[in-house]
């Protein structure tokens, strides 16, 4: 098929599994390079890609990717529910709130029991105020907080209203513990674990993080890196077109009702 015709049909949203060790933007660059190669496109600007929710480079899991006109529908997925599996460590805090950061605090955790963790988690369910991590993709005057922090620029971050649908303990073997968490938009799992560590009278950071659901997409729906090719992406767009359209319509209806 003519590559120009294919480009015109590459409009929609599809899910991928972001692997460990690359940023969300780098994942999109890899997809674009593969599409250009498969379709023999020499100007990568002809392919428009976007994603609906950043994952840290060390995190893995589901990301919704928009291509062409599908990028316009990513906003509805930003507001969609997300599920995570997270492995954490008590007794140590880092400046990034995860395993990549510099250790900034160590506090005893001997007093922390399974029941204390479970009870403390209740404080973080529902609508809460949450302070995002300094090392994040959030921007100030067009620049990421994380870049400003690395340059030593002082940044004042305001807490945000976010929603946690569910958070429950899945494992407890001090200093390590695991959680399953379901959230709304703008929620930072790293902040949750940091704040939870303080709530139990210690400190904590994220060791491993995987997003298992993003809006209507689950891990079983998403394309792993070895399937980031034109054929698989076209099939995935077609498979989820009706689901995404319905999701987008519901989002627009909800937005319209909020205005009134």
The CA distance from 85 to 179, in Å, is 6
Q: What domains does the chain contain, in order, with CATH numbers?
A: 3-79+215-259 (no CATH), 82-211 (3.30.2350.10)
The string of pLDDT tens digits covering residues 192-201 is: 999 999 999 9
pTM here is 0.89
CA gap 221, 227 in Å, rounded: 12
Q: What is the percent of the chain where pLDDT is above 70?
A: 86
Q: Read off the pLDDT of residues 24-60 as tens digits, 9 standing for 90 and up.
A: 999 999 999 999 999 888 888 889 999 988 899 999 9
- Per-residue confidence (pLDDT) for residue 35, from 0 to 100: 94
Taking alpha carbons only, the member of 225, 186, 237 closest to residue 18 is 225
Which tokens in the block code for residue 159?
């807490």
Active site residue 147: no
The gap between the terminal CA atoms of the chain, to the nearest Å, is 47
Catalytic residue among 38, 45, 56, 147: 56
What is the rounded CA–CA span in Å between residue 171 and residue 114?
9
Give residues with Cβ within 8 angstroms of 217, minimum separation 6: 15, 62, 64, 240
pLDDT at 143: 64
């Amino acid at each position: 098929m003519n590559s120009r015709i294919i480009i015109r049909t590459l409009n929609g949203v599809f899910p991928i599994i972001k692997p460990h060790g690359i940023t969300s933007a780098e994942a999109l660059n890899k997809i674009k390079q593969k599409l250009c190669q498969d379709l023999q496109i020499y100007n990568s600007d002809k392919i428009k890609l976007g994603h609906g929710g950043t994952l840290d480079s060390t995190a893995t899991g589901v990301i919704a990717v928009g291509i062409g006109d599908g990028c316009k529908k990513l906003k509805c997925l930003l507001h969609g529910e997300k599920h995570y599996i997270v492995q954490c460590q008590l007794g140590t805090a880092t400046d990034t709130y995860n395993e990549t950061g510099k250790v900034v605090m160590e506090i005893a955790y001997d007093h922390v029991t399974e029941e204390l963790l479970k009870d403390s988690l209740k404080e973080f369910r529902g609508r809460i105020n949450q302070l995002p991590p300094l090392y994040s993709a959030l921007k100030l005057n067009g620049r990421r907080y994380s870049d400003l922090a690395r340059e030593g620029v002082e940044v004042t971050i305001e807490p945000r209203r976010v929603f946690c649908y569910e958070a429950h303990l899945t494992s407890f073997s001090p200093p390590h513990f695991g959680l399953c968490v379901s959230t709304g938009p703008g929620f930072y799992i790293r902040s949750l674990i940091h704040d939870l560590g303080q709530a139990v009278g210690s400190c904590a950071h994220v060791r491993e993080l995987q997003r298992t659901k993003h809006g209507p997409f689950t891990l079983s729906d998403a394309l792993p890196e070895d399937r980031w090719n034109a054929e698989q992406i076209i099939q995935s767009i077609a498979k989820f077109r009706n689901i995404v359209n319905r999701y987008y319509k519901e989002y627009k209806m909800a937005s319209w009702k909020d205005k009134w």
